[in-house]
Chain A
Amino acid sequence: MQRTTMDLWVGLFVVMGIIALMILSLKVGNLNVYNPSQSYVITGNFENIGGLKVRAPVKSAGVVVGRVTNIQFSTETYDAVVTMSMDARFQFPKDTFASILTSGLLGEQYIGLAAGGDEAMLKAGDKIMKTNSAMVLEELIGRFLFNKAAEDDSF
Chain B
Amino acid sequence: MPKRIVSGIQSIGHRVIESIWRLGLASRFFILVLLKSGTSLRRFNLVIRELYFTGVLSLIIIVVSGLFVGMVLGLQGYETLQKYGSESAVGTLVALSLVRELGPVVAALLFASRAGSAITAEIGLMKATEQLAAMGMMAVDPIARVVAPRFWAGVISMPFLAAMFSVMGVFGGYLVTVVFIGVDEGSYWSQMQSAVDFRFDILNGFIKSCFFGVAVTAIAVFEGYDAPPTAEGVSGATTRTVVTSSLVILGLDFILTAFMFRGVS
Q: Is B206 a contact of A21 with CB atoms below 8 Å?
A: yes
In the bound assembly, the distance between CA atoms of A23 and B192 in angstroms comes to 13
Q: Provide the residues of chain A in CB contact with B51, threshold 8 Å.
A: 10, 13-14
Stretch at the interface among A28-36, A38-46, A86-94, A126-134: A28-36
- Contact A10-B52, Cβ < 8 Å, known A29-B99, A57-B194, A106-B84: yes
- Contact A20-B160, Cβ < 8 Å, known A9-B56, A13-B51, A107-B89: yes
Contact with A along B39-52 (1 / 0, CB 8 A): 00000010011011
In the bound assembly, the distance between CA atoms of A64 and B182 in angstroms comes to 25
Stretch at the interface among B7-15, B113-121, B197-205, B240-248: B197-205
Give the residues from 28 to 79 in chain B that come closer than 8 angstroms, CB to CB, to chain A: 45, 48-49, 51-52, 55-56, 59
Q: Is B196 a contact of A28 with CB atoms below 8 Å?
A: yes
Contact with A23, one of B55, B167, B199, B200 (Cβ below 8 angstroms):
B167
- Contact A29-B265, Cβ < 8 Å, known A6-B48, A13-B160: no
Q: Provide the residues of chain A in CB contact with B159, threshold 8 Å.
A: 17, 21
Q: Is B198 a contact of A20 with CB atoms below 8 Å?
A: no
In this complex, the member of B159, B161, B167, B189 whose beta carbon has the largest number of chain A beta carbons within 10 angstroms is B167
- A-B contacts counted at CB < 8 A amount to 102
Contact with A30, one of B86, B89, B167, B193 (Cβ below 8 angstroms):
B193
Q: Is A20 a contact of B163 with CB atoms below 8 Å?
A: yes
Q: Is B201 a contact of A17 with CB atoms below 8 Å?
A: no
Q: How far is the CB of A119 from chain B (nearest CB, A)?
A: 31
Contact with B along A2-20 (1 / 0, CB 8 A): 0100110110111011101
Give the residues from 39 to 98 in chain A that come closer than 8 angstroms, CB to CB, to chain B: 53-55, 57, 64, 67
Q: How far is the CB of A8 from chain B (nearest CB, A)?
A: 10
Q: Is B84 a contact of A20 with CB atoms below 8 Å?
A: no
Q: Provide the residues of chain B in CB contact with A57, threshold 8 Å.
A: 194
In this complex, the member of A6, A10, A23, A105 whose beta carbon has the largest number of chain B beta carbons within 10 angstroms is A10
Q: Provide the residues of chain A in CB contact with B167, threshold 8 Å.
A: 20, 23-24, 28
Q: Is A14 a contact of B160 with CB atoms below 8 Å?
A: yes
In the bound assembly, the distance between CA atoms of A105 and B197 in angstroms comes to 23
Q: How far is the CB of A62 from chain B (nearest CB, A)?
A: 9
Q: Is A24 a contact of B166 with CB atoms below 8 Å?
A: yes
Interface size, B (range): 35 or more
Q: How far is the CB of A46 from chain B (nearest CB, A)?
A: 18
Q: Is B48 a contact of A7 with CB atoms below 8 Å?
A: yes
Q: Is A54 a contact of B265 with CB atoms below 8 Å?
A: yes
Contact with A24, one of B89, B163, B189, B195 (Cβ below 8 angstroms):
B163
Q: How many residues of A contact B (CB 8 A)?
A: 35
Asked if A108 is at the interface (CB within 8 A of a chain B CB), the reply is yes
Q: Provide the residues of chain B in CB contact with A3, threshold 8 Å.
A: 45, 49
Give the residues from 76 to 90 in chain B that come closer than 8 angstroms, CB to CB, to chain A: 84-86, 88-89
In the bound assembly, the distance between CA atoms of A74 and B198 in angstroms comes to 30
Contact with A20, one of B45, B89, B164, B189 (Cβ below 8 angstroms):
B164
Contact with B194, one of A14, A27, A30 (Cβ below 8 angstroms):
A30
In the bound assembly, the distance between CA atoms of A14 and B56 in angstroms comes to 9
- Contact A24-B99, Cβ < 8 Å, known A17-B160, A17-B164, A107-B86: yes
In the bound assembly, the distance between CA atoms of A25 and B201 in angstroms comes to 10
Q: Is A33 a contact of B193 with CB atoms below 8 Å?
A: yes
Q: Is A29 a contact of B84 with CB atoms below 8 Å?
A: no
Q: Is A29 a contact of B198 with CB atoms below 8 Å?
A: yes
Contact with A28, one of B89, B99, B164 (Cβ below 8 angstroms):
B99
Contact with A along B83-113 (1 / 0, CB 8 A): 0111011000001000100000000000000
Q: Is B166 a contact of A29 with CB atoms below 8 Å?
A: no
In the bound assembly, the distance between CA atoms of A33 and B89 in angstroms comes to 20
Q: Which 10 A-B pairs have the closest CB atoms?
A: A17-B160, A30-B193, A20-B163, A29-B198, A20-B164, A31-B198, A20-B167, A29-B202, A21-B163, A9-B56
Given A13-B52, A55-B264, 9 further pairs, Cβ under 8 A = A16-B164, A17-B159, A28-B167, A29-B99, A29-B197, A34-B197, A104-B88, A105-B86, A107-B89
